[in-house]
């Protein structure tokens, strides 16, 4: 199984998908020419526009973006894919459309057979057992919260440590502690912006200049860097 799970698409002040594009290229390699893109997380713009936006950046690294929404048979498109790319946006809308198109099993089986999977933000959430550690508002209702279950842990993308000034609500850490209270047997990774996990050959590594924050019920959160061992997550 080969996964590239990216926290965010865009760093502040940069062009869309600019910072991870070379990581995506290194991950996919030169043998892949066409990627199957799943744009279902897009809500305030069309899937056509979303695919064109991704194609603009992917053209710079040598890949064709083939959006699944243009296929009359989405399952067959997954079965024939050279690589699967899942974009960010609203995680609830993404999961609802993946489920309604009967793609949970198809994508899971395809990726488990060795087809590379690239996701950012909501696309990284969908690689987890469920989407219950997303930051997104539930603007629509999927059949369930169960996702592709490609990894054994949960990701919280765009992880932030602090609250904005004058904000009296819960911190991100407190929200994740609520999740852990009801789900004590699973790890949650706070994946900060500008970072990603690469999983290949039963090995996992953190890429980026910032630490990941690891949460587990009954344990104090820990900070791990690119030099640390994340194998306990697998």
| Contact predicate 129/152, CB 8 Å | yes
Q: Which two tokens stand for residue 53?
A: 């936006």
Question: H helices of the chain, where?
Answer: 21-28, 47-59, 74-79, 91-100, 104-112, 122-125, 172-182
Q: Residue 48 catalytic?
A: no
Which residue among the candidates 7, 9, 121, 124 is catalytic per the annotation?
Answer: 121
Beta strands in the chain (DSSP E): 3-6, 34-38, 64-67, 84-86, 117-120, 154-157, 188-191, 196-200, 203-207, 212-216, 219-224
Active site residue 66: no
Asked about 105 being catalytic, the answer comes back as no
Which is the catalytic residue, given 7, 158, 225, 229?
Answer: 158
Rounded Cα distance between 92 and 132, Å, is 10
How many angstroms separate the Cα of 223 from the Cα of each of 5, 63, 99? Answer: 18, 35, 34
Contact yes or no for 36/111 (Cβ under 8 A):
no
Q: Is 102 exposed, middle or buried (0-12, 13-18, 19+ CB in 10 A)?
A: exposed
What are the residue numbers of the active site? 121, 136, 158
């Amino acid at each position: 199984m080969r996964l590239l799970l990216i926290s965010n698409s865009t760093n502040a002040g940069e062009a869309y998908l600019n910072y991870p594009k070379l990581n995506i290229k290194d991950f996919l390699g030169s043998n892949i020419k066409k990627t199957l893109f799943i744009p279902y997380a897009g809500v305030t713009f069309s899937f056509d526009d979303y695919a064109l936006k991704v194609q603009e950046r992917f053209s710079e690294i040598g890949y064709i973006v083939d959006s699944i929404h243009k296929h009359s048979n989405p399952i067959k498109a997954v079965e024939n894919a050279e690589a699967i790319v899942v974009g960010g946006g609203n995680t609830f809308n993404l999961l609802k459309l993946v489920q309604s198109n009967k793609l949970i099993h198809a994508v899971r089986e395809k990726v488990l057979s060795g087809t590379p999977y690239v996701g950012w933000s909501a696309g990284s959430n969908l690689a987890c057992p469920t989407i219950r550690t997303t930051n997104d508002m539930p603007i629509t209702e999927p059949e369930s919260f169960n996702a592709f279950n490609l990894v054994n842990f949960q990701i919280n993308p765009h992880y932030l440590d602090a609250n904005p000034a004058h904000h009296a609500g819960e911190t991100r850490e407190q929200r994740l502690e609520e999740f852990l209270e009801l789900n004590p047997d699973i790890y949650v990774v706070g994946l900060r912006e500008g970072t990603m996990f690469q999983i290949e050959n039963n090995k996992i590594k953190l890429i980026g200049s910032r630490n990941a924050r690891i949460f587990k019920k009954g344990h104090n959160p820990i900070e791990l860097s690119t030099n640390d061992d994340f194998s306990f997550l697998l």
